Structure 1
């Protein structure tokens, strides 16, 4: 999910399907920030905010374990709908800043490119912060922003997850579209995947089984778009062993059919960012949509486990 231009930087780039004014407001309005800021499972309380040069933002992050994390931000540059520069401190105005943040909002018409850079005093602090971000699932913050913006625009609930891999674009497309590759990393941790048939092309389909030796799940995939080297769209549903559509074996209120969109973005010659988006596909009851929303943390864990396996496969 991150690219690094300097040994002292952690840089994150995202493109959101929303005009720059909406992205800016979502980032700077405390009422909107409260809807998405922080890793999945976290919430925040803003105590004060002065969005101006020399102003500050004082807030507390509340972890899913009940622990509170005081935060203090001092703004150095505020250029509406264009640029923010601020120091992020641990707990108070007197605390030494942990890092400097520079955020660029680039207007792409009905889309916005967000370029965020965190700059640290030493490479040791960079390494320590990377470990903290990974342990807390901190990068899911920017996925939550994508979900929030989508809901504001369309009133639809979606799930988004991003991750960057040390592999070129064409290699990553192969990892998603060659069965011998994706069957090795896509299943949940502890499961293996096999196909009774697969026709991986636009308009094609596949039937598969996932098993952990004691429990087997069956499913069907219908490929809506296979567009080398950077886009894949497919629907997915559970079936019984004979291929008849059924419900999630452990969650009867889970939506009958889901749509997956995979976007691959080159981040240089040897790195690719993967963006996965899940939508409820077709008609769904309010209970089914609620089940989808309630499971976002679990979906994050599931995709993280699969992505860890993909990372290991690429390294090997």
Structure 2
């Protein structure tokens, strides 16, 4: 499992994941930048993601949905707030309606993804910050920690495919 730690911090209103991958930062960065690669790991197993829009620029919008085993769809959105390729990405995200647009733009989390070269591996630290303790607890109750662990657990296979193809 690439996730080496997950920490919920109710005081800081955050959930932090640290994962390590056998690839350089440029390659791991592509997992975020390329919507076709992103959708292969963003949803946990059984809930694949489909990105119908992914504007990977500051101010850019992403719209996606995850499809469950019974065909149900969970829609989400991102607005990218900062990019420092291939080291850091920041975005706001939240729930979307069936049209892909935010249900309540104020009901969002803020994510900061940092990629750091550690020898021949890349450490990816993802910090999601919540607007309130209630929002943090709601997302935890919905299984966000386990879902992210499982989603990130799919990255190694995707990276291995890339090496075989490259």
Q: TM-score, normalised by structure 1?
A: 0.46
Q: Distance in 1 between matches of 2:16 and 2:138?
A: 15
Gap runs ≥5 in structure 2: none
SS at match of 2:163: helix
Task: Tell me the CA shift for residue 154 of structure 1.
Answer: 4.5
1:95 aligns with 2:104: yes
The residue correspondences of 1:225-304 to structure 2 (distance < 5 A) are none
- Determine if contact 2:21/2:122 at 8 Å carries over to the other structure: yes
1:144 to 150, 154, 162: 154
Q: Distance in 2 between matches of 1:20 and 1:135?
A: 24
2:60 to 21, 35, 55: 55
1:133 to 119, 129, 143: 143
The answer for the alignment partner of 1:43 in structure 2 is 48
1:64–1:113 distance in 2 versus 1, CA, 3 Å: same
The answer for the alignment partner of 1:192 in structure 2 is none
Task: Tell me the CA shift for residue 138 of structure 1.
Answer: 3.7
Task: Tell me the CA shift for residue 118 of structure 1.
Answer: 0.5
1:118 aligns with 2:128: yes
- Determine if contact 2:76/2:102 at 8 Å carries over to the other structure: no
The answer for the alignment partner of 2:85 in structure 1 is 80
Asked which structure has the greater RCO (Cα within 8 Å, sep 6+), the reply is 2
Task: Tell me the CA shift for residue 4 of structure 1.
Answer: 3.8
Q: TM-score, normalised by structure 2?
A: 0.84
1:148–1:56 distance in 2 versus 1, CA, 3 Å: same
Aligned length: 155
Task: Tell me the CA shift for residue 68 of structure 1.
Answer: 0.6
1:79–1:135 distance in 2 versus 1, CA, 3 Å: closer
1:2 aligns with 2:1: no
Q: Distance in 2 between matches of 1:137 and 1:54?
A: 26
Q: Distance in 2 between matches of 1:59 and 1:152?
A: 23
- Determine if contact 1:19/1:109 at 8 Å carries over to the other structure: no
Give me the CA root mean square deviation.
Answer: 2.0
The answer for the alignment partner of 2:75 in structure 1 is 70
Q: Which protein has the larger Cα radius of gyration, Structure 1 or Structure 2?
A: 1
Further displaced range: 92-101 or 22-31: 92-101
1:136-195 deviation line (CA, Å, top 9, x unaligned): 74420010112211232257xxxxxxxxxxxxxxxxxxxxxxxxxxxxxxxxxxxxxxxx
